[in-house]
Amino acid sequence: MARIFAYIVHRGGVPDDSAAEIAAAARRMEPAAEPTAIVAGWGAELDAACTALAGHYPEVWKLASETLAEPNAELVRKALVRVLPPASVVLVSHDHFGVDLAPGLSIKLNAAYVADILAVDARGEASLTVVRQEFGGQVSAHVECDISTGAVLTIRPGAFKPPGDAPTRGKIIDKSSEIGSLAAGRRYIGTVVAEAGNVDITKHAVLVSVGRGIQDKDNLQIAEELAEALGAAVSCSRPVVDAKWLEKSRQVGSSGKTVKPKVYLACGISGAFQHLAGIKGSPFLVAINKNAKAPIFQVADVGIVDDILEFLPELTKKARELHGIAAR
């Protein structure tokens, strides 16, 4: 099979959590794969990211350029086109940066493109069958992808669980001299960090997260009571914020907060990729949804098909009993 590369973003020298998940996806595609991570940036932060990635990948390619110090998918795309060998399979996280980078990269490489991959079905010498969702997750599509001229594939965050192997000691190869000078038509101006709000959902080990399935602002109380019994905080999906039931600082997802809890209870949340993109660190994911076909069940560790309006109060009762908390 073609050589597999993973483009990994980092923030301040810390690789994105998708790094280990993408390595797991590469091994699902080719169990004997020795995937190569590629990381771009500048200075000490880039060196730190390379060292961290060498713990997950047998080989790490370092692309150092002052112009790559700030996130700009156009520049990264140009750098990748210059270093990648023909017919490479390139894996990218299906997040903000990945969906900006991947389509243009596939065109420049004349490679197949499949977005938002959840699973790998089958592999052949020159083809790969992958699973993605369509129609908001109502349909699973099995897509056969010709990889004879390469492929660019975006991987849904949380879909491939890292096996928890002992860290490797990969070698770092400096490819910076091959990228030459880079220029882009667009310019990065800055990142605006959202305010923490009165409850900082990024700091909690357990999150009770509610989605549109909560149905009404008044029903939020049942999530708050469960959170209190579990020592958790309440977070939510975007429709809950759009309906003004909770403040924006509680929203998890690509246009909300990135959270890294140990346990995540997704209550009445369908599992759109924009929501899942905000859940990092492979938490133990419990999904409660009355639709057995909800896409969230494909990434959940435990799936409960039930009405949250009935199930959550029962769970609260049990949690209170376990912790010796008197009912209110």
Ligand X SMILES: Cc1cc2nc3c(=O)[nH]c(=O)nc-3n(C[C@H](O)[C@H](O)[C@H](O)COP(=O)(O)OP(=O)(O)OC[C@H]3O[C@@H](n4cnc5c(N)ncnc54)[C@H](O)[C@@H]3O)c2cc1C
| Contacts to ligand X by CB under 6 A | 211-213, 237-239, 251-256, 268-270, 272, 274-275, 278, 289-291, 294, 307-309
Nearest alpha-carbon partner for 37 in 73, 74, 78, 91:
91
Kindly state the smallest distance separating residue 271's Cβ from ligand X, in Å. Answer: 7
Return the structure tokens found at 255: 């246009």
Kindly state the smallest distance separating residue 311's Cβ from ligand X, in Å. Answer: 7
Kindly state the smallest distance separating residue 49's Cβ from ligand X, in Å. Answer: 25
Q: What are the backbone angles phi and psi of residue 31, rounded to the nearest 5°? A: -55, -30
Kindly state the smallest distance separating residue 87's Cβ from ligand X, in Å. Answer: 33
Residue 88's CB: how many other CB atoms inside 10 A? 21
Question: Is the Cβ of residue 50 or residue 241 nearer to ligand X in the bound state?
Answer: 241
Burial of 171 from C-beta contacts in 10 A (0-12 / 13-18 / 19+)? exposed
Q: How far apart are CA 203 and CA 18, in angstroms?
A: 20
Question: Is the Cβ of residue 84 or residue 266 nearer to ligand X in the bound state?
Answer: 266
Q: Kindly list the distances between the CA atom of residue 176 and the CA atoms of 171, 185, 202, in Å, as whole numbers in the listed order.
A: 15, 21, 35
Question: Is the Cβ of residue 84 or residue 99 nearer to ligand X in the bound state?
Answer: 99
Q: How far apart are CA 81 and CA 192, in angstroms?
A: 30
Residue showing the smallest CB distance to ligand X in the complex: 253
Kindly state the smallest distance separating residue 237's Cβ from ligand X, in Å. Answer: 3
Question: Is the Cβ of residue 175 or residue 317 nearer to ligand X in the bound state?
Answer: 317
Question: Is the Cβ of residue 117 or residue 222 nearer to ligand X in the bound state?
Answer: 222
Return the structure tokens found at 181: 């000078």
User: Could you identify the residue written with the tokens 């197949």?
Assistant: 112
Kindly state the smallest distance separating residue 266's Cβ from ligand X, in Å. Answer: 8
Based on its alpha-carbon atoms, the radius of gyration of the chain, rounded to whole angstroms, reads 21
Q: How far is CA 56 from the centre of its chain?
A: 17
Q: How far apart are CA 49 and CA 113, in angstroms?
A: 27
Kindly state the smallest distance separating residue 305's Cβ from ligand X, in Å. Answer: 8
Question: Is the Cβ of residue 137 or residue 170 nearer to ligand X in the bound state?
Answer: 137
Nearest alpha-carbon partner for 275 in 160, 118, 103, 156:
156
**Crossing angle for the helix pair 308-323 and 220-230, nearest 10 degrees?**
20
Question: Is the Cβ of residue 170 or residue 253 nearer to ligand X in the bound state?
Answer: 253
